[in-house]
Amino acid sequence: MKSNLYNHTFFISIIAALLLCTNGIAQENDLSNYSLRFGFKTVKQADNSRLLEVSFIGYNKTDRKDKVPVFGAEIQFLNILNDEEILLGSSKTSKEGIAQLILPENQKYGTDGEGYINLRARFNSTDALSEEEEDIMVKDLHLDLNLSEIDSVKTVTLTAFTMDSLGVKTPVSDVDIIIYVNAMLSKMNINEGTISDGAYTFDMTESFAGNTKGDLTISSIIEDNDEYGNIIQEKKVYWGTFNKQIKADDHKLWTKAAPIWMYVVLTILLLGVYVNFIYTIVNLFKIKSEGDNLPVEPKKNYTVN
Angle (CA) 111-37-59 rounded to 5° is 170
The architecture (CATH level 2) of 141-237 comes to Sandwich (2.60)
Q: Which homologous superfamily does the CATH classification assign to the domain defined by 2-139?
A: SOR catalytic domain (2.60.40.730)
Answer yes or no: same fold for 2-139 and 141-237. yes
Q: Tell me the domain boundaries of the chain.
A: 2-139, 141-237
In sequence order, the 6+-apart residues with CB closer than 8 A to the CB of 205 are 153, 154
What are the pLDDT tens digits along the chain (305 aa)? 444 444 455 455 545 544 544 333 333 345 678 899 999 999 999 999 999 999 999 999 888 788 899 999 999 999 999 889 999 999 999 999 999 999 999 999 999 988 999 999 999 999 889 999 999 999 999 999 999 988 888 999 999 999 887 888 999 999 999 999 987 677 889 999 999 999 999 998 888 887 777 788 999 999 999 999 999 999 998 887 765 555 555 555 556 667 788 888 889 999 989 898 898 998 888 887 877 777 766 666 655 55
Which one, of 189, 241, 195, lies nearest residue 216 by Cα? 241
Measured between alpha carbons, how far is 39 from 61 in angstroms, rounded to an integer? Answer: 17
Q: Which helix (H) or strand (E) holds 83?
A: none
> Dihedral through CA 81, CA 86, CA 92, CA 97, nearest 10?
0
In sequence order, the 6+-apart residues with CB closer than 8 A to the CB of 3 are none
- Largest separation between any pair of C-alpha atoms in the chain: 152
> Dihedral through CA 188, CA 194, CA 195, CA 200, nearest 10?
-60
Whether this model's pTM surpasses 0.85: no
Measured between alpha carbons, how far is 30 from 144 in angstroms, rounded to an integer? Answer: 51
